[in-house]
Structure 1
Amino acid sequence: MDQLIEWIATHALLLWAGLLLVAVLVGDVAWRWNFRQREAAIAVGRSPVAIRARSAAMLFMAMMLLFVAIAIAIGAEAQGLLPGFDAALALDLRAHLPPTTLQIIAAITHLGDLWTVAAASVVVLAALLLRRHPALATSWAIAVAGIVPINSGIKAWFQRPRPVHGYLTEAGWSFPSGHAFGAMVFYGMLAYVLLRLTPLRWHRAVVAGAIAMVTIIGVSRILLQVHYLSDVLGGYASGLAWLVVCIGGAEYWRQRSAA
């Protein structure tokens, strides 16, 4: 295990780039599948949907199960497999990443800061209202408004301390990562809004861009040692669960309004 952690810390930046590439490729596969579903729906005269109710329910349950599994693992004794891996990786990352690299990563991570997301959310909401998209504006407002209370509530429940020797010092509890949760909801919901409003030729780039931002921001928290690996995974899982609820609700509302 120690050798694996050492290898991950030594090749952290290369793994970050590889993970980003894999995430975008997986997203592209998902886009292709959704595109085929869209074409099939149009061919039989049905209105295409971003996500079907059954798919949304299955994805929501999968993310909740993943979150519960991570929560149980970190709730074990401090020397348990996952908590031990988390702590050892954080220490090794601090030893292997040079300060100059960490400064660059620290600048990148601000793309997921609360005030950055809040300001951008207000701009998007205003644009949707000005362009007379009240249903999308409402769905957008509900999604982003849920970020802080949901994530803060979960953090307060688990009260997991942050890594001791992080490159940045931040207040608050560690699990699940607020940046990972917020990036998943904000950029995921932004992608949904853009998919609804932009021409089809832009959709592939929109999906790839959203996945890239979510991956970059979440992993940056691990590299900066302000969150453990399991914090970011928990943030992704819980954030995606809330995102699925919001997009599923928006699509249900849209179909009811069109009926």
Structure 2
Amino acid sequence: MTQLPSAVSVRESGTGTPLVLLHAFPLNASMWSAQLDALPGLTGDEVRVLAPDQRGFGGTELGADEPSLDLVADDLALLLDAAGIDRAVVGGLSMGGYVALAFARRHPDRLSGLLLANTRATADTDAARANRERIAAAVTARDSVRLLLDERVAAGQLGPDSQHLVDRVQEMVAAASPAAVAWAQRAMAGRPDSLDVLAGLRVPLAVVAGAQDALVPPEEAELMVQARPDAELTVVPGVGHLSALESPGAFDAAVRRLLARVAG
């Protein structure tokens, strides 16, 4: 396991059961502002919410390591060590879900519960990997993330009823560095199928999907639930790829139900 980057940014609120929230690509931990405000109060101030910026995003350094989600998962283990946390409920949305699955594979003893939102446990297709490399090469060559804005990444992540959030999401996209975007795309392209990881886990699992998610359709969520029939599946109506932003009430309710199962 490598060391954490020298600069690591983590947003935190509340006390109690540790809950880590891992952000989507190419956003940052500010996407969790509603959860950082609401979850501790909604659960009687019995949850400690931590939302780290992943490598290269927000206030966290990228470092010089080769792209790998395993490395980001190990970062999380080191972050828990630094925070004095033995085990945590880990929730990830989109790319954050990929990191959460890598964490479950590499550090299953550090998990007390798992939430996977708008993500998939299957590996990329050849076409998806090729598109990731196209984006990585383009932003590197241009030293700009303008491509992501030109291809309307923000609008494409949101459902048709959530387009009022485009400016907020676009601001996060524009803040991403080209190096972080390229690194993350290549790291995601290299991830393995993780359905076997879910099947072998022995902690409570919650899966959240957006009914109108054009990037990760609800069928991917159903595959995860087939691997773990005891998982709780929440499909949020009218929501696209960023369920925590688009429908924070429904997302937070799924988190609270998972926390109740963890408390047992």
Which has the bigger relative contact order, CA under 8 A and spacing at least 6?
A: 1
* TM-score range relative to shorter protein: under 0.3
TM-score under structure 2 normalisation? 0.27
What is the TM-score with the length of structure 1 in the denominator? 0.28
